[in-house]
Structure 1
C-alpha cells in the first residue's frame, strides 16, 4: 500500500518515523544527484544509483555507468548542462518509491554561430528502491513540460530552422534543436505534460509501487 505522511496520519508512531526517515533520505539523494552531477563529482554521483540504475534523457538512454562516462566526457569537452530543483512529491510503498521533482535543465551552446541558453522546465520522475538499507535510483525519466531559447548576447539575431524545430515535441524542442546541432542523437518521443507517453509512464510508476518488476527499461 502506498504510504502518505500528513497531518492526522493514521500510521503508527514507528511506521511514521520510518516513512519520514525514508522521505528525508530520498530527498537528500535527489538533491545530491543535481549538486554532484553539475559539480563533476563523479564518484559521489555514482553512489546515488543502484548498480542496475538507468537514465533516460533527450540525448542519452542507458545505464547509469554509461551515463556517468558520457557526462564526464562532455564535461571535459566543455558541454554545459546544469540543473535546478523545485518541490518534490514522494509516493512510498514499503521499500519502493516514486518521486516527482520539479526541475529546470539549462544548457549553453551554439546555434549556428550564436551562443545561446536553453532553459527547459519539467519534472524528474524517479523509480527508487531501498536495498540493504539504502535508497538508490533504479530509473530516472524526465518529463519535459516547456522550454525557451535566447541568445546570451541579447543584441544577436537568432534564426531557427522551422522544420527541424517542429520535428521535436513542444516540451523540449529548443533543447533538442541545440543538442542536435552539436551532434547528439535526440530521442523524439519523450513524455510531456499530456499524451500517451506520460500516461504510460504514470502507469509504469503505479505498477512499480504495486511490486511489479520494472520491465521495458531502455
Structure 2
C-alpha cells in the first residue's frame, strides 16, 4: 500500500497543529497524539496526555512560548500504516518576569501511526541544533556557570526553562550526536516493523 497525498497532508496537519499548544487549545493539542503516545523534550518526558496537562501549567506561568513549524520530511512503512517524520522548528521562549528570552532551533522526530483511518503521533523526540538568548527589554545578567552545565545547542533554552521552574534533568540529542543517531536508527527500525515505539 502506498501513501497518498491525503496521508501526507494529514501528517503535515499534525505537525502544524502544534500551534494549538501556543494558543492554549489543550483539547486540540491532545488530539494530535494517540492515547498511548509519548513525548520527550527538554523539560518533559512521558505520556503525551500528561505533557498537555504540564503545558497548561506552563501556560499559566511567567514563561511564554511560541513554535514556528516547517513542512515535515516524511517516510512511510511499506504497508502505509506507519510513518516517521522530521520537522524543523523554532522555539521562541520568554520569561516575562525575568525579562529574558531564548530562541531554540530543533527538529522533531515523530513516529506516526494510522489507526482506524486516522493518523496521530505515537512518539515525539526532539533533536536540538542551536540556541541563543534574547533580551526583550534590555540586557540582563546570565549566570555563565549555570549555562555551562548544558550543551551549547540548547543551553540558552535549558537555562531559561530552569530559571522558569521547568528544569532540564538529563542530556538530550544534539545535531550530529550519537544520541541523534540512536533516535533515528530506532525510528527507522520501527518503521520497518523491527521494534516497538
TM tier, smaller: over 0.9
1:108 maps to which of 87, 94, 108: 94
- 2: CA distance, partners of 1:187 / 1:129: 29
Is residue 97 of structure 1 aligned with residue 97 of structure 2?
no
Is residue 21 of structure 1 aligned with residue 6 of structure 2?
yes
Report how many aligned residue pairs link the two structures. Answer: 195
Q: Give the match for residue 176 of structure 1.
A: 158
1:126 maps to which of 68, 92, 110: 110
- 2: CA distance, partners of 1:207 / 1:213: 6
2:146 maps to which of 141, 152, 164: 164
- 1: CA distance, partners of 2:151 / 2:56: 27
The 8 Å contact of residues 189 and 197 in structure 1, kept in 2 or not, is answered as: no
For 1:1-218, list aligned pairs within 5 A.
Answer: 18-32=3-17, 34-93=18-77, 94-109=80-95, 114-153=98-137, 156-214=138-196
User: How does the TM-score come out when normalised to structure 1?
Assistant: 0.84
- 1: CA distance, partners of 2:41 / 2:14: 19
Q: Give the match for residue 11 of structure 1.
A: none
- 1: CA distance, partners of 2:33 / 2:167: 24
Q: Deviations over 1:86-110 (max 9, x none)?
A: 2320011121111111110011016
Q: Give the match for residue 7 of structure 1.
A: none
The 8 Å contact of residues 168 and 188 in structure 1, kept in 2 or not, is answered as: no
Deviates more, 1:138-147 or 1:205-214: 205-214
- 2: CA distance, partners of 1:180 / 1:77: 13
Deviation of the 1:21 alpha carbon:
1.7
User: How does the TM-score come out when normalised to structure 2?
Assistant: 0.92
Deviation of the 1:211 alpha carbon:
0.8
Deviation of the 1:76 alpha carbon:
2.1
3-state SS, counterpart of residue 70 of structure 2? strand
Larger radius of gyration: 1
Cα RMSD (Å) of the superposition? 1.6
- 1: CA distance, partners of 2:179 / 2:156: 19
- 2: CA distance, partners of 1:172 / 1:189: 10
Greater fraction helix: 1
Consecutive unaligned residues of structure 1, counting only runs of 5 or more, are 1-14
Deviation of the 1:114 alpha carbon:
4.2
After TM superposition, where is structure 1 displaced by more than 6 Å over at least 4 residues in a row? none
The 8 Å contact of residues 112 and 123 in structure 2, kept in 1 or not, is answered as: yes
